[in-house]
A and B are shown apart, each in its own frame.
Chain A
């Protein structure tokens, strides 16, 4: 027996446990349920609710299972008379001041207090005194409060202290008058704040926009995957008669643990908006007409056929990187079938000079959970909390566990842990990054690789560069992670060369934060101008996004795109699209820019209304079924593509389901390409002159990343959402 293992007995059953482990973790593991409110596996132990009191032999009093470390020979009874009596006593105390408003409480049916009261409560209350009434707090647009229901478990308080790192809620006052709140009116603003709703074991903190709109037990529960970033957070959608009412986390320790970003929780309020495209429309003589699917598809096929009439070259296809794998694969096949190579999903990227050196798929450089095990992480050009909030949390955990973290960024974005920071101005980013590389080379007394030698020798090394380099030096497990700002930068190729050289020099991994939920899938599906499925080289490279727009095509397919909001070069796009003969838009929403430039608009479902697969930043394929019914006559995008393929007379476009399409791609891929970010390019960098940059294109606000999020009113009303409206500047508010 391992010396750190102890033998204990729980309810007469012998159990092996790790010495010092808390009893409740042992009972949970062996499936013996001990009731609890304040305990939560992701939070520190508070031991304040006293619900988990159990009977431990030779202990003079019942002990809280959450705060009692196991010792060898311990004999525990979770159901003895003493244990049950203690648990019932606690339940009675919890209920005396808890309102009996379960019928109008949103938590009803999914309330830990309600559930346990059934098992441990009395039928009739002995408490005849006046009950406590607590004033509600205004915590902003996301979380509603009914503070009279609060049982003071402090999970929400600890969440702020420990998980986000910014304590917004506290326990104000003392005794029976202690209240959870912000003291002065103050919204909860952290991008993970919505999680306090799930943490709250009662109905004190609830989902504000969802308030009073459904009962838990009348909704169907559907697994979903977040479409808003490359983490692929696992979600449950709660669906009432085909409508997605709310979203909660689906626990997945490898990805999002028990958390989700507010963006994932509240984006569903962007689905059912006035500007949804409910029926297919075609433009005739500058007038939009609502038509049947049949007519619309015929018009679309005609328009596309016209664009490829002489050769496929006349057609450009632009797809959202938030599209599903099936959609992206079908678009790839459609392009191939129509004979065009002008196909791209990299809508916010502007520098394609070195695209041949892109990895087959942009890998994080680590598993998501593995981020926590790293010893040094240098983020290059990343407003991480905005880009991928759930990964920002992992990085924070790594930092709290002792990893060194550094940022090379245009602004000193607020990170709630100690980190190194190199100011790399938007326009002059490469020079600062070269400084870090030079500092690392200096420290290691190794020359920088030849192709970057000139850049490095021209770099000025200051204390901040050395500090950032030290984040990576002398460690086994390090990561240089290219964020969205870096990848959207007009000098991305140079930035990547420098970052790759730095990673190589320190013996670390190079990583990418993929732009969107399915950027990885798009690369694998070959939704690229220069590569086919699985990264195979294209016979003849087509135009990338920039090329397609700067050398306008006769016709375009826009899949899931709002051209004025989703693209780095929106003005160029507008000009190109306006000059085209035919533009076919697949879209969930009516958008002014689309109305202006398109000729056919085909209503497709949002992420909630389609089945599909996303491949996340660590390469995990995650499939899902449609959670909600499509709005109006909208159809899942893959299905529309399939029918359009038939209408275009393309071969082998007969799929029965999104999973069929996915499996076809999988077959074609054969062995899935392994993660490999090693840089094999040879771009040589010389000049590090400043370049013109529009910061707003590089640093996209957290609630502006896609069409659904942009339409979620609760998100737009938050401090983070309003910051975007009030200023055209990106969220550089916290820049020093």
Chain B
């Protein structure tokens, strides 16, 4: 790729991933890779972004840092505060709501002892406030755990998924 200076805050692996994305866009349009870069950085950092990491991405993609902050706070998949390492998003949008999503949320809140939007004190789970419909409406109710979809949920099915996480 380019001869840009290696940015110490980003791992070689993350840089390689960003470069792969940069390669999809025309020359000079490297900022198109910013979402992919933030996904990669967040993944490597255990599920959330820090100002330092965002600055490193800004530096790497030659963007003003504020523009990276704007993006990180605009898109709901980016976390800008520390969260538990397993991210749980229960879809509560209309189709899931009609099929009992609120009960699923209540079940998880009870089981984990936290409210939606919080992480467990042991740092294992983060029950994300999911506003969007996750587009698995025909498998309602459903949830996304660490990006994986689980459909046609029952409380027992939820327990099985959560039991399987470290």
Q: Which residues of A contact B (CB under 8 A)?
A: 166-174, 182-184
Chain B residues whose CB sits within 8 angstroms of the CB of A166 once the complex forms: 64
A sample of 16 more A-B contacts (CB under 8 A), given A167-B64, A169-B66, A172-B69, is A166-B64, A167-B66, A167-B67, A168-B66, A170-B67, A170-B70, A171-B70, A172-B70, A172-B73, A173-B74, A174-B73, A182-B66, A183-B66, A183-B69, A183-B70, A183-B73
One digit per residue, 1 when the CB lies within 8 angstroms of any chain A CB and 0 when it does not, for chain B 67-109 equals 1011001100000000000000000000000000000000000
Alpha-carbon distance between A171 and B66 when the two chains are bound, in angstroms = 9
Alpha-carbon distance between A182 and B64 when the two chains are bound, in angstroms = 11
Chain B residues whose CB sits within 8 angstroms of the CB of A169 once the complex forms: 66
Prevailing SS type, chain B contact patch: helix
CB-nearest residue of chain B relative to A165?
B64
Tell me the smallest distance from the CB of B105 to a CB of chain A, in Å.
21
Tell me the smallest distance from the CB of B84 to a CB of chain A, in Å.
22
Jot down 6 A-B pairs with beta carbons below 8 A, ordered by A: A167-B64, A167-B67, A173-B73, A174-B74, A183-B51, A184-B51
Chain A residues whose CB sits within 8 angstroms of the CB of B74 once the complex forms: 173-174
Chain B 37-80 residues near chain A, CB threshold 8 A: 51, 64, 66-67, 69-70, 73-74
Alpha-carbon distance between A184 and B51 when the two chains are bound, in angstroms = 8
The 7 tightest CB contacts between A and B, nearest first, are: A183-B69, A170-B66, A170-B70, A173-B73, A167-B64, A172-B73, A174-B74
Tell me the smallest distance from the CB of A421 to a CB of chain B, in Å.
18
Tell me the smallest distance from the CB of B5 to a CB of chain A, in Å.
13
Chain A residues whose CB sits within 8 angstroms of the CB of B51 once the complex forms: 183-184
CB-nearest residue of chain A relative to B51?
A184
Contact of A184 (CB < 8 Å), options: B64, B69, B70: B69
Most buried by B among A166, A173, A183: A183
Chain B residues whose CB sits within 8 angstroms of the CB of A182 once the complex forms: 66
Alpha-carbon distance between A363 and B51 when the two chains are bound, in angstroms = 48
Alpha-carbon distance between A174 and B73 when the two chains are bound, in angstroms = 7
Alpha-carbon distance between A168 and B73 when the two chains are bound, in angstroms = 16
Chain A residues whose CB sits within 8 angstroms of the CB of B70 once the complex forms: 170-172, 183
Tell me the smallest distance from the CB of B59 to a CB of chain A, in Å.
15
Tell me the smallest distance from the CB of B79 to a CB of chain A, in Å.
13
Alpha-carbon distance between A173 and B73 when the two chains are bound, in angstroms = 4
Most buried by A among B66, B69, B70, B74: B66
CB-nearest residue of chain B relative to A174?
B74
Chain A residues whose CB sits within 8 angstroms of the CB of B69 once the complex forms: 170, 172, 183-184
Alpha-carbon distance between A408 and B66 when the two chains are bound, in angstroms = 31
Alpha-carbon distance between A360 and B73 when the two chains are bound, in angstroms = 58
Alpha-carbon distance between A173 and B74 when the two chains are bound, in angstroms = 5
CB-nearest residue of chain B relative to A177?
B73
CB-nearest residue of chain B relative to A184?
B51
Chain B residues whose CB sits within 8 angstroms of the CB of A172 once the complex forms: 69-70, 73
Tell me the smallest distance from the CB of B58 to a CB of chain A, in Å.
11
Alpha-carbon distance between A206 and B70 when the two chains are bound, in angstroms = 23
Alpha-carbon distance between A167 and B71 when the two chains are bound, in angstroms = 14
Alpha-carbon distance between A168 and B51 when the two chains are bound, in angstroms = 15
CB-nearest residue of chain B relative to A183?
B69
One digit per residue, 1 when the CB lies within 8 angstroms of any chain A CB and 0 when it does not, for chain B 110-133 equals 000000000000000000000000
Most buried by A among B51, B67, B69: B69
Alpha-carbon distance between A163 and B44 when the two chains are bound, in angstroms = 37
Chain B residues whose CB sits within 8 angstroms of the CB of A173 once the complex forms: 73-74
Alpha-carbon distance between A183 and B64 when the two chains are bound, in angstroms = 12
Tell me the smallest distance from the CB of B76 to a CB of chain A, in Å.
8
Tell me the smallest distance from the CB of B130 to a CB of chain A, in Å.
15
Alpha-carbon distance between A170 and B73 when the two chains are bound, in angstroms = 11
Chain A residues whose CB sits within 8 angstroms of the CB of B64 once the complex forms: 166-167
Alpha-carbon distance between A213 and B66 when the two chains are bound, in angstroms = 32
CB-nearest residue of chain A relative to B74?
A174
Tell me the smallest distance from the CB of B77 to a CB of chain A, in Å.
13
Alpha-carbon distance between A182 and B70 when the two chains are bound, in angstroms = 9
Tell me the smallest distance from the CB of A193 to a CB of chain B, in Å.
14
Tell me the smallest distance from the CB of B9 to a CB of chain A, in Å.
15
Chain A residues whose CB sits within 8 angstroms of the CB of B67 once the complex forms: 167, 170
CB-nearest residue of chain B relative to A166?
B64
Tell me the smallest distance from the CB of A334 to a CB of chain B, in Å.
54
CB-nearest residue of chain A relative to B76?
A174
Tell me the smallest distance from the CB of B118 to a CB of chain A, in Å.
18
Alpha-carbon distance between A174 and B70 when the two chains are bound, in angstroms = 9
Chain B residues whose CB sits within 8 angstroms of the CB of A183 once the complex forms: 51, 66, 69-70, 73
Alpha-carbon distance between A579 and B128 when the two chains are bound, in angstroms = 79
